[in-house]
Amino acid sequence: MGNNTLMFGDNGDTDNPTTPPHKTRSISSCTISQNGYIVTLAFLANNGAVNITIDNEADDTVYDTTATAVAGTSLTIDTTGWESGTYTITVTSSAGVIYTTIVDIL
């Protein structure tokens, strides 16, 4: 192969190539939908007690609650009155962060 071709897992150093990453299976535990000022977090898996935080662009936590994540249930968050901007939603279980996403509040 030519020197300009990188193979899967190759870091470009032919003397010390890296190994391919392990295959992992990723299953989304949640989905987010947004309708105006209403943000709905739908749980797709049973994760037990979870903590849901929403941080603004300054990394200040503006929402923090605990819920029981059961497949088929949802949590509705009313963002009326929040400043316009980009917010990060993080869902954490006892196993660590299980879901994170960014939403824009207008």
Domains and CATH numbers, the chain: 30-105 (2.60.40.3080)
DSSP three-state, residue 93: strand
Residue pLDDT tens, the chain, 106 long: 444 433 334 444 445 444 444 443 445 789 999 999 999 999 999 999 999 999 999 999 999 999 999 999 999 999 999 999 999 999 999 988 889 999 999 8
pTM of the entire predicted model: 0.73
DSSP three-state, residue 90: strand
